[in-house]
Amino acid sequence: MRRHVREVVRGMILLLLILLITTSHYVTPIDYVYLHEIYQRIYYIPIILAAFWYGPLGGLAAAMLTSVLYAYHIHRDWSHIPSYSFNQYAEIFLYNVIGLLIGFLSIRERRHRENLEKTSRKLADAYERLHAAFEQLRRSDRLASLGQLSAGIAHEIRNPLGSIKGSIEILQSEIPPAHPKHEFVRIIQEETARLNAIVAGFLQFARPPQPAMEPAVLNDLILSTLVLIQREAERSGVEIRRHLDPGLPEVQVDRDQIRQVLLNITLNGVQAMSDGGVLEIKSGIDQGTKVWVDVSDTGPGIKDEDLERVFDPFFTTKPQGTGLGLAISFQLATNNGGTILVRKNPDRGVTFRIELPIAQRNPSAVPPALPAPQSAE
């Protein structure tokens, strides 16, 4: 609608210019020859504008309208001077030539500009992909280095932790529940179990299992994951909304690992909304090469300066978090040939996007997994 209004305004401007110049010819006495010569040159302005705006047909239409109006003026007022009227008729011929020539040049310039814009968009997309690939490589290298460190730390902690666990079990059998120090035994057991869970997370991050790739239906993995978090969502007052594309092709992944990724991401979203909210899960296909699932929450969100750190190991905003859930999820998604992206929502909360490759009919190779860091044993 806006474009239509603009074209109408342009047409009115051209018509008014041509009529104004023609009227000036008719009302100006022929004794003012220099004014008539100025007017006939000014005719080029609407002709060139029409050619630039509408191409050769527009330029030719403006030139022909000008020719008809100006030719009558020549015949009426200048026919008694054959030499001068001939020059003016020659000017009419130039009007049409200029209208066509500028029109063709405008088409060529417009196509050149469109090609430049298309090339600019392609370069911008290539830069974004290159930047994303660089960030993924940088993060993968950092994950591998931290994985080696985590493996060493976990190995050194696990042995004394096992000794502590065995010792406290012996002490528990000798201290009855009514004993005033029994509460301390219980605390030590709980904290030991928590430390053991943290060590297990370290080892899982440091030594992720190689994926067993097979075709899988992403929507089925999503639905089975939502069953696991349903109770947690109800306790937190979180409403789960699903918008799954029923026409998704199969993906080539390790089902258990991708289910764990989905569980980590969705559970992270539910835990971010302790006072209630909406967890929205969408799935779709992108460019026929990969499928995606978006997990959006309406929680407090993430600070801009922390967006690039959410997948870093040991980075967390939770008081009791280890900072390994998202790092492990990113590593598992990468090992399965996919990736995880994060962005802030326009209103509130964040959206995590998991992208995975579409299964090939005859897959000849499995996407390479990140090398498992070696333990510092």
Residues 21-41 have a mean pLDDT of 84
Give the lowest-confidence range in 124-128, 222-226, 339-343.
124-128
With bands split at pLDDT 50, 70 and 90, how would you rate the model's confidence at 375? very low
Tell me yes or no: is domain 212-371 CATH 3.20.20.70: no
Angle between helical axes of 2-27 and 33-42 (0-180°, round to 10): 160
Residue 319 pLDDT more than 60?
no
Residues 134-157 have a mean pLDDT of 60
With bands split at pLDDT 50, 70 and 90, how would you rate the model's confidence at 155? low
Residue 306 pLDDT more than 80?
no
How many angstroms separate the Cα of 260 from the Cα of each of 18, 134, 224, 272, 332?
A: 73, 26, 11, 18, 9
Question: Which residues, in sequence order, are CB contacts of 98 under 8 Å at separation 6+?
Answer: 44, 47, 48, 51, 59, 63
**pLDDT top residue among 216 and 76:** 216
With bands split at pLDDT 50, 70 and 90, how would you rate the model's confidence at 351? very high
Residues 308-327 have a mean pLDDT of 68
Q: Which helix (H) or strand (E) holds 34?
A: helix 33-42
Residue 25 has a pLDDT of: 81
d(CA 5, CA 22): 26
d(CA 361, CA 335): 20
Give the lowest-confidence range in 129-143, 265-279, 358-372.
358-372
Q: Which helix (H) or strand (E) holds 327?
A: helix 325-335
**pLDDT top residue among 127 and 225:** 225
Give the model confidence (pLDDT) of 271-282 as tens digits.
888 888 999 999
**pLDDT top residue among 292 and 194:** 292
Average pLDDT over all residues of the chain: 79
Give the lowest-confidence range in 1-5, 202-206, 346-350.
202-206
Residue 170 has a pLDDT of: 76
Residues 205-222 have a mean pLDDT of 81
Residue 371 pLDDT more than 80?
no
For the chain, the structural domain boundaries read 2-121, 212-371
Give the model confidence (pLDDT) of 35-72 as tens digits.
888 888 888 888 888 888 888 888 888 888 888 888 88
> How far out from the chain centre does Cα 308 lie?
15
Residue 318: strand, helix, or coil? coil
Give the model confidence (pLDDT) of 223-238 as tens digits.
999 988 888 899 889 9
**pLDDT top residue among 26 and 127:** 26
With bands split at pLDDT 50, 70 and 90, how would you rate the model's confidence at 148? low
Residue 196 has a pLDDT of: 74
d(CA 219, CA 262): 11
CA torsion sign for 43, 47, 48, 49 is positive
> 356 in the Ramachandran plot: left (φ > 0), alpha (ψ -120 to 50) or beta?
beta
Residue 93 pLDDT more than 80?
yes
Residue 15 pLDDT more than 70?
yes
